[in-house]
Structure 1
Amino acid sequence: MLAGSFSSRAYSFFDTLLWIACLNLLWILFTLFGLGVLGAGPATAAAQILVRRRARGEAAPLLRSFAREYFANFIRANALALPVMAVALALAMNWNYSSGTGDLMSQLVAAGTFVAAIFLAGVVCYLFPMYARYELPLGQYLMTCSRFAIRHLAGTVILLFVTAAAVYASRALPGLIPFFSIGAWLYVTGWLCDRFFAANDESVAALALAEEGAGDSGARTGGGSIAVGHSRPQGAPVG
């Protein structure tokens, strides 16, 4: 019995590692296919959609599913990713400029830029997992992710820690990047976000039920929860 259980868990573990490695390779290939800047957003959207499906226990051919979601979400994912890339580039340029001088004002600007970059990183961790889970108007994703990141600080800290660990491991062992680093980050952050969102949905539903029982049809957020939007139909492409 114990041997069978161990074998099953070992098989599941190594199967997940292989799936992550394939996801990592597909993300790199499809990002390059989109010339980098135009490929990263759709590749990330496709990856997070497939991570969520795997977390729900769905099985599908990885390459075919990734390609389908990549092309189906090419325009919307770029509309979501490109502004974030522009802000990240602006913050990086501002940091390089202000941190290179020694006067007090420049150091304060550099500190503010660093804080803004950390906040942006936290928001980005939620962005495509939220895109994979909820149907929202395109302009609402960043605002909703920002609110979620602030109101769920514990989860945001966990995601930032995972991100920092992935960056550190990739810098210490650059050989991980072509095989595991990106895929592992996408898988872990997507898996965590899916659970954070599920817990939040349960809190919002419980709050709405309590308000309904009290005869109150007012706001549906409170107690650290935030109403996000309608979940996507299971298995449906994001369009």
Structure 2
Amino acid sequence: MRENGVMAMIYGGCEAVMKIALLNGLWLLFTVGGGIVFGWAPSTAAMFAIVRKWLLGYTDLPILTIFYQTYKKEFIKTNGLGLILAAAGYILIVNYQFFHARADLFSIMISYVTLLAGLAYLVIVVYIFPLYVHFQLPFVRYFSQAVLIGLLRPLTTAGMAAAGAVVVYVLLTLPGLIPFYGVSLFALVFMFIAHRCFLRLEV
């Protein structure tokens, strides 16, 4: 009985590792299939949607089918999110580089303001896809709710940042894992932490 239990745990662990790798492969495939620019956001939403279902106990779902259905259904709306995030990130980077290169007081102040805006931007990036697959909200509220939850739940936000840093460390230490887990590991840890936060907010 004990051997059966141990073997079942080993089998379950190997199966989970394979599923996470498959999810990462689907993200890469559909991202490239969407021309990268129009593929990464719906692929990311589909990936987070599957991770959420896993957390809810639906571990035997057909991953490819659910991924494709979510990708297709959310293609336009998630590309709206993705294009806004990409444009905002680009503006923040250009703005910081422009003012950081200047030495006058006004430029220095704008540089620090841009850094603060960048922190808010990172909070939005971390929370917005978990929010998107968990809640049905008006489009613009995903951005405001991401910032609001990030500020009201600083420990959760810090936990997500720490978990992300651990994932980065593991991937940099073992770069051979990047093609198989380079994106899905982030989705797994971010959705796990965010999901627990959302459940507490719903009580």
CA deviation string 1:72-116 (max 9, x = no partner): 100111112211111111112223333445555544433333332
Ranges in structure 2 where 5+ consecutive residues have no aligned partner: none
Change (3 A) 1:104 1:38: same
Give the counterpart letter for 1:54 in structure 2: W
Distance change >3 Å, CA 110–CA 16, structure 1 → 2: farther
Alignment of 1:68-107 (within 5 A): 68-101=69-102, 105-107=106-108
Q: Give the structure 2 partner of residue 126 of structure 1.
A: 127
Cα deviation for residue 194 of structure 1 reads: 1.1
CA distance, structure 2, for counterparts of residue 121 and residue 107 of structure 1? 21
Quote the residue 1:116 is aligned against: 117
Q: TM-score if structure 1 supplies the norm length?
A: 0.76
State which drifts further: 114-123 or 70-79: 114-123
Flag structure 1 segments of 5+ consecutive residues without an equivalent: 203-239
1:11 & 1:200 partners in 2: Cα distance?
35
- Match in the other structure for 2:160: 159
User: C-alpha distance in 1, partners of 2:90/2:165?
Assistant: 19
The runs of 4+ residues in structure 1 deviating greater than 6 Å are none
Which moved further from structure 2: 29-38 or 164-173? 164-173
Q: Which amino acid aligns with 1:90?
A: I
Q: Which residue of 1 aligns with 2:53?
A: 53
In the alignment, is the contact (CA less than 8 A) between 2:164 and 2:189 conserved in 1?
no
Give me the identity figure in percent: 30
CA distance in 2: counterparts of 1:199 and 1:98, whole angstroms: 41
Contact 1:122 1:160 in 2 (8 A): no
Within 2, Cα distance between the matches of 1:135 and 1:113? Answer: 30
| Shift of residue 54, structure 1, vs aligned partner | 1.0
**Native 8 Å contact 1:27 1:43 kept in 2:** yes
Report if aligned partners of 1:149, 1:156 keep a CA contact under 8 Å in 2. Answer: yes
CA distance in structure 1 between the partners assigned to 2:2 and 2:49 by the alignment: 34
What CA deviation, in whole Å up to 9, does each residue of 1:167-205 have, x standing for no partner?
444445443321112011011111221111011111xxx
- Which whole-Å CA distance do the structure 1 matches of 2:175 and 2:111 have between them? 28
Measured on the aligned residues, the alpha-carbon RMSD in Å equals: 2.0
What is the number of equivalent residue pairs in this alignment?
202
8 Å Cα contact 1:122-1:159 kept in structure 2: no
Aligned partner letter, 1:95: Y
Kindly indicate whether the alpha-carbon contact (under 8 Å) linking 1:121 and 1:160 is maintained by their aligned counterparts in 2.
no
Q: Distance in 2 between matches of 1:16 and 1:67?
A: 20
From the superposition, tell whether residues 163 and 99 of structure 1 become closer, same or farther in structure 2 (CA, over 3 Å): farther
1:135 aligns to what SS in structure 2?
coil
1:210-238 C-alpha deviation (Å, 9 max, x unpaired) = xxxxxxxxxxxxxxxxxxxxxxxxxxxxx
- Choose between structure 1 and 2: higher helix proportion: 2
Q: CA deviation at 1:117?
A: 1.9
What is the TM-score with the length of structure 2 in the denominator?
0.89
Which amino acid in 2 is paired with 1:183?
S
The equivalent residue for 2:10 is 10
Aligned to 2:27: 27
